Every structure is written in structure tokens, then in C-alpha cells.
């Protein structure tokens, strides 16, 4: 292999693919970046076997070939050569030679054969929407994914395409976020459960929010291409929770509250409440106001927020963090809170955009 490449291009490509480098692995080749000189391109690939990122940049290829460098070291080294033209060369049985100015350094490599084979067969189904819309749908749901490993299926978001409408669902057993939106095109009705980490990496790749993004899905994998970068991810296998059955549709009490006032109040209550692990914030909902209270050994908070309420008075308690997660990701000025009893799930939605719904399970308290 022998190739001449612009230092800034290389450094930026290394940074992009590095996101897929495995951080916890017993197989050192998974800490590597494969570099392959072919045609007029240098192709960089990193994978942790779940998630793969591949980036292609222009290069002056003098001799085709491939090798695997240690990701972290190579990335750090190349970052300090952004202003140089770099010649990378590798002969059989030798280290990778890196030439720049009148200097020459060498890096240890792994044989390219040891690097996992990447299969790009995710072409069965697809949907397409604006990058900005995709990003928004991820950001408004992914926070509700489970972070522990006890139920792997909850570590991803359900993507459900039905009649050109996309619904994204995430839940962790304590709360659930559901968001629907039209897509610009799709290959028909299908479902896929996409790991939370994959979704976050895709949103990081998004560079021009006005352009389109096409998500291709096969039985086991997802593939997306943005700016000469290809991201491939395994899907989570199994049957997702039947989320429609969980969402109650009739309510006894409905409250409309100013979102920012509600956020500030719950944040202050949480300062006191979160010294306990459950972060219990109690809401005493009456006709004209919510009395927000929290109590722990460090102090107590007692606030009133003006609201509009229909239905029956109710006293109910939640984990303050779960309330804040939804409220902070909601863009509207007012939210609508729908309740039945202190032990039944509550459903919050924005008043303007009712396509964004949040279910939250209360904490039982002795009141």
C-alpha cells in the first residue's frame, strides 16, 4: 500500500470512524481502524461488531493495499499533522510508514485479515425524511430507552412505518415516549428496533439538516449513508412491547400548565428530593394550582403553580427526573397532563403538537 492524502481530510475521517471503535474488548483488532487504499480513495473502517462506521476520502493511491492501525494512537498522531500532506506506505511484514515534510515515523499494525468482515446487505426496506426531522425524532424518544441490560429489547427505539407514517417508541418500564411523523417516502410497512447508541451516532453524522436521510433496513441490520460516510448497525432482535395497549385513552383529570414554570419548580423540588434515590416529587393538583412538594433530610420545597384543570382533584407523585426528561424535550409553551388515579399511569402531551406523547408511571406514596 502507498497513498498520499491531505492531513486535514485524514484527521477528520479518523475522528468520524473512531466513534465505532470498541472501548471494552479483549480483541485488540477491534480497537483498530482499517485503512484501505483502492482506486482514487482511502477507505477507513472501524467496528465493534455491533456498530460499523466507514468513511471514504479522496487520495492519490500509488499502490493499493490495506492494513489496520491502533485507533486511539493513530487518531492522536494524525490530529497533529492536519497541515501536512501525508504519505502512508506499508510493505509486507513491515510497520506502517508515515512520511510528512522531511520526517518519517512508523506505527505498529494488525494484519487486515484479522479485521471483521463488514456485510452491507441492509437493502430490503427503507424510509426517507429530512435530517432535521430524523434528529428531532431520535432526541425526543431515545432518552426513555433502558440503560441496563436486564431487558435488551428496551435498549433500543422501535421504528414503525405504517402508511408512510413513522412512529418511534422508547420505554424503560417507568416511562414511555411516543412520537409520530409523516415520512417523505418509504418502501412499505415494516418495523425495526434500533439500538440507542446507533441512533445517537447517526444524529452526530448529520451535517446538513435540510438534506434528506435514507434509513435502509434488512432483517438484522440498518444502513445509512451521509457525506461519504456509511454507518451499519445490527438491529435488536425480538418482539417489542405492544405500546398501544399500554396507553390509556380516557382520563378523569386534565391539567394544562405552563411548561417552563413547571420545569423550574420540579428542578428545585429535585434538588431536595434527589438525595433519595427515587427523587419523589409530589403534585397536589387542585382547580387553580398545582402544589409541588418534595421533602428529604436536607430540607423541603413547597411551591404553587397556576394551572387550568378539568375533572377531579388528585394527589400523585413522580420521579422528578422522568418528568423533566419529557418537559425539557418538549418545544411548546404549555403541556397537557392527563390522569386517572394516584396509582395509574399519567399521560402528558404537548397541546399544539399532539403527536408527541409521554406516559409516566407514578410512585405510590402514603398521603
Read out DSSP for 78-102? HHTTTTSEEEEEE-TTSPEEEEETT
Q: How far is the CB of 316 from a copy of itself (least distance, A)?
A: 19
Binding-residue pattern over the window 226 to 265 for a copy of itself, x denoting contact by CB under 8 A = --------------------------------------xx
8 interacts with a copy of itself by CB under 8 A: no
Closest CA to 194 of 151, 227, 240: 240
Residues 40-99 close enough to bind a copy of itself by CB under 8 A: 70, 73, 76-77, 80-81, 95-96
Would you count residue 301 as binding a copy of itself (CB under 8 A)? Answer: yes
By CB under 8 A, residue 302 contacts a copy of itself? yes
Compute the least distance from the CB of residue 19 to a copy of itself, in Å. Answer: 20
Cell of 243: 405500546
Distance CA(254)–CA(192), nearest Å, equals 34
Determine whether 325 is exposed, middle or buried from the number of CB atoms within 10 Å of its CB (0-12, 13-18, 19+): middle
**Region of 96 on the Ramachandran plot (φ > 0 left; ψ -120 to 50 alpha; else beta):** beta
Is residue 103 within the footprint of a copy of itself (CB under 8 A)?
yes
Establish if 287 lies at the interface with a copy of itself (CB under 8 A).
no
Binding mask 107-146 for a copy of itself (x = CB under 8 A): xx--------------------------------------
Q: According to the binding rule CB under 8 A, does residue 173 interact with a copy of itself?
A: no
State yes or no: residue 333 binds a copy of itself (CB under 8 A): no
> Other C-beta atoms within 10 Å of 117: how many?
6
Give the cell for residue 307. 394551572
298 binds a copy of itself (CB under 8 A): yes
Q: Which residues contact 109 (CB under 8 A, 6 or more apart)?
A: 67, 68, 69, 90, 95, 96
| Structural contact between residues 225 and 120, judged by C-beta atoms closer than 8 angstroms | no
Name the minimum Å distance from CB 201 to a copy of itself. Answer: 25
Residues that bind a copy of itself (CB under 8 A): 70, 73, 76-77, 80-81, 95-96, 101-108, 264-265, 267-268, 271-272, 275, 297-304
Amino acid at each position: 500500500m502507498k497513498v498520499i492524502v491531505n492531513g486535514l481530510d485524514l484527521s477528520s475521517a479518523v475522528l468520524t470512524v473512531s466513534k465505532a471503535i470498541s472501548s471494552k474488548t479483549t480483541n485488540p483488532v477491534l480497537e483498530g481502524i482499517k485503512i484501505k487504499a483502492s482506486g482514487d480513495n482511502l477507505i477507513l473502517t472501524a467496528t465493534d461488531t455491533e456498530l460499523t462506521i466507514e468513511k471514504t476520502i479522496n487520495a492519490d493511491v500509488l499502490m493499493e493495499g490495506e492494513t489496520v492501525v491502533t485507533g486511539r494512537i493513530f487518531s492522536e498522531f494524525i490530529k497533529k499533522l492536519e497541515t501536512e500532506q501525508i504519505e502512508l506506505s506499508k510493505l509486507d511484514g513491515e510497520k506502517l510508514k508515515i512520511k510528512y515534510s522531511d520526517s518519517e515515523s512508523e506505527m505498529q499494525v494488525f494484519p487486515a485479515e484479522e479485521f471483521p468482515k463488514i456485510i452491507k446487505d441492509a437493502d430490503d426496506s427503507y424510509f426517507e425524511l429530512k435530517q432535521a426531522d430524523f434528529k428531532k425524532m431520535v432526541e425526543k424518544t431515545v432518552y426513555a430507552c433502558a440503560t441496563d441490560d436486564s431487558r435488551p429489547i428496551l435498549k433500543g427505539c422501535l421504528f414503525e412505518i405504517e402508511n408512510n407514517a413513522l412512529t418511534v417508541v422508547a420505554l424503560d418500564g417507568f416511562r414511555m415516549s411516543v412520537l409520530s411523523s409523516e415520512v417523505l417516502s418509504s418502501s412499505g410497512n415494516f418495523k425495526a428496533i434500533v439500538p440507542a447508541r446507533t441512533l445517537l451516532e447517526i444524529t452526530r453524522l448529520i451535517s446538513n439538516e435540510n438534506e434528506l436521510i435514507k434509513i435502509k433496513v434488512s432483517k438484522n441490520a440498518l444502513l445509512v449513508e451521509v457525506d461519504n460516510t456509511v454507518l451499519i448497525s445490527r438491529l435488536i432482535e425480538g418482539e417489542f412491547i405492544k405500546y398501544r395497549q399500554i396507553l390509556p385513552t380516557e382520563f378523569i383529570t386534565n391539567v394544562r400548565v405552563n411548561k417552563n414554570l413547571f420545569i423550574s419548580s420540579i428542578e428545585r423540588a429535585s434538588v431536595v428530593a434527589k438525595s433519595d434515590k427515587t427523587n419523589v416529587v409530589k403534585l397536589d393538583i387542585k382547580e387553580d394550582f398545582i402544589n409541588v412538594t418534595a421533602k428529604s433530610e436536607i430540607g423541603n420545597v413547597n411551591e404553587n403553580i397556576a394551572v387550568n384543570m378539568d375533572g377531579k382533584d388528585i394527589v400523585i407523585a413522580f420521579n422528578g427526573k422522568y418528568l423533566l426528561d419529557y418537559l425539557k424535550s418538549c418545544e411548546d409553551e404549555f403541556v397537557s397532563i392527563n390522569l386517572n388515579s394516584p396509582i395509574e399511569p399519567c399521560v402528558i402531551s404537548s397541546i399544539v403538537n399532539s403527536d408527541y406523547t409521554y406516559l409516566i408511571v407514578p410512585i405510590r406514596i402514603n398521603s
